[in-house]
Amino acid sequence: MAGEHLVPHGPALAARPEPAKKKESDMAVTTAPISLEQETNPWEAQAARFDLAAKTLNLDAGIWKVLRYPQREIIVHIPVSMDDGSIEVFTGYRVQHSTARGPGKGGIRYAPEVSLDEVRALASWMTWKCAVVNIPFGGAKGGVICDPRHLSQGELERITRRYTASLIEFIGPEKDVPAPDMNTNEQTMAWIMDTYSMHMGQTITSVVTGKPVNIGGSRGRREATGRGVSVVTDQALKHLNMSPESTTVIVQGFGNVGSHSANLLWEKGYKIIGVGEYDGALYNANGIDISELMEHKARTGAIHGFAGADAFDKDELLTAKCDVLIPAATENVITSLNAERLQCRILVEGANGPTTMVADGILAEKNIFVVPDILANAGGVTTSYFEWVQDRMGYFWTETEVNQRLERIMVDSFNDVVQYAVNHNVDNRIAAYMLAIDRVAYTTKQRGIYA
């Protein structure tokens, strides 16, 4: 079983002897009021949570400094011949936050709003996410500033291949393994794999994950993040003595993660009463048939006009009454502006960074049980790990085997985080950060600082 190959972690750092005296000016956790712009900066949010978890762990000051910042940040400018004969130059990023526990791992997103701060934050979240589920990867992330809606397939391929060629010395099965993310997919990964393989002079399938199954992709990978969300939702209900049949769910975002989360929960008997997208939402107090909605979106390209639910305000959907709220779209949808109005009992974060740190405090006061992003959406990277393992050994598992291994890791990780929260008297998010930092810090101290 895959779990037998996972890297073990050491005893909790909090239980170790008191470290050398810290420089409080370097290690202070900021508590001063912040602006909304600061609140929604993903890198600042990640760093603040890291600092709080590290302080609670009583983390060694030197290791604190090492883990707080990325190991490497790469900026590339990508000249591309467009379909009309003109040349455009796109900016791309790849940030490698930590490779202490193994190769960097993280997706590549294509979007107009991609920024270095966003990619930095996502890379660090990947470090903590991989450590929370205890798989032997570090954290990385990439992005290209572009709008795929206005680019042809040929233009997207040329952007992808040139971006890959620009990063060729920094990625690889033992260095950094990209995957799909926002506005990238299996085809994007196939282009990256082919470009990398052409440069290496041989086919190397394990350079990326999230590929088509026929060229080394893993069965179950496409649904994996949504499946992980559904598994931890089950565990949250079990923890709170609730049953799926009497549980109402709202899902914000109906892309890959949101649609598969909703569908898997619907199949288990949960009542999905609301579904939101960036341009509108649907609501039906009696429940939405998710299989029909998925078919409708596949046919029309949108959730609008679906006969099985009424149109609803997308912003109001987040604060509508439900038992489980699953933000599964993008960052910063739950902030100080709307957190007080949330009416859910459980928040399961299918997206990366959907809740700001200021909102965390409000949710804690409201006694909302939060399953944080670095745990809730780790199903994708866990199955990416399975894909990487299968590629490297040249032997592929059935989808049932993949799903069973994924469920076991997600259940064990949920229990680890909840127990950590109890043991250290912190909320689930800080517990997840503490557990992850503990594992990465322990490995970093074992390896030492090369000089």
Mean pLDDT of the region 287-291: 98
Which has more confidence, 30 or 93?
93
Indicate the pTM of the whole model.
0.89
Would you say the C-alpha torsion 413, 230, 139, 202 has a positive or negative sign? positive
Contacts of 420 (CB under 8 A, 6+ apart): 426, 431, 432, 434, 435
Element (H, E) at 332: none
Mean pLDDT of 210-220: 96
pLDDT for res 33 = 61
- The 10 Å Cβ neighbour count of residue 1 is 10
Instruction: Give me the CATH topology for the region 224-376.
Output: Rossmann fold (3.40.50)
Tens of pLDDT, residues 313-343 = 999 999 999 999 999 998 899 999 999 999 9
Stretch among 28-32, 122-126, 286-290, 416-420 having the lowest mean pLDDT: 28-32
The question of whether 141 is a catalytic residue gets the answer yes
Nearest to 78 by CA among 70, 89, 68: 89
Give the mean pLDDT of the chain: 92
pLDDT band at 125 (very low <50, low <70, confident <90, very high): very high
Bin 166: left if φ > 0, else alpha if -120 < ψ < 50, else beta. alpha
**Biggest CA-to-CA distance, the chain:** 65
pLDDT of 55: 96
pLDDT tens for each residue of 301-312: 999 999 999 999
- CA dist 297 and 233 (Å) reads 24
215 exposure class (CB count in 10 Å sphere: 0-12, 13-18, 19+): middle
Give 356's pLDDT tier (boundaries 50, 70, 90): very high
What is the tens place of the pLDDT at every residue in 363-393? 999 999 999 999 999 999 999 999 999 999 9
Checking DSSP bridges between strand 248-252 and strand 176-180, what pairing results, if any? unpaired
**pLDDT of 256-278, one tens digit each?**
999 999 999 999 999 999 999 98
Question: What does the pLDDT look like over 402-445, one tens digit per residue?
Answer: 999 999 999 999 999 999 999 999 999 999 999 999 999 999 99
pLDDT attached to residue 330: 87
* Rounded-to-integer distance, Cα 182 and Cα 435, Å: 27
Q: Where are the domains of the chain?
A: 71-203, 224-376
Structure tokens at 226: 């949504």
Residue 390: what pLDDT? 98
Q: Give the active site residue among 129, 141, 297, 314.
A: 141
CA atoms within 13 A on the CB side of 301: 1
Q: Per residue in 17-34, pLDDT tens?
A: 333 344 443 444 444 567
Note the pLDDT of residue 7: 35
Q: How confident is the model at residue 184 (pLDDT cuts 50, 70, 90)?
A: very high
Question: How far, in Å, CA of 415 to CA of 424, rounded?
Answer: 14
Q: Determine the Cα–Cα distance for residues 284 and 279; give it in Å rounded to an integer.
A: 18
Helix ranges (DSSP H) in 29-68: 36-39, 42-57, 61-68
**Fold of domain 71-203:** Rossmann fold (3.40.50)
115 CB-contact burial (10 Å; exposed 0-12 / middle 13-18 / buried 19+):
middle
For residue 53, give both structure tokens: 């978890």
Confirm whether 71-203 and 224-376 share one CATH topology.
yes
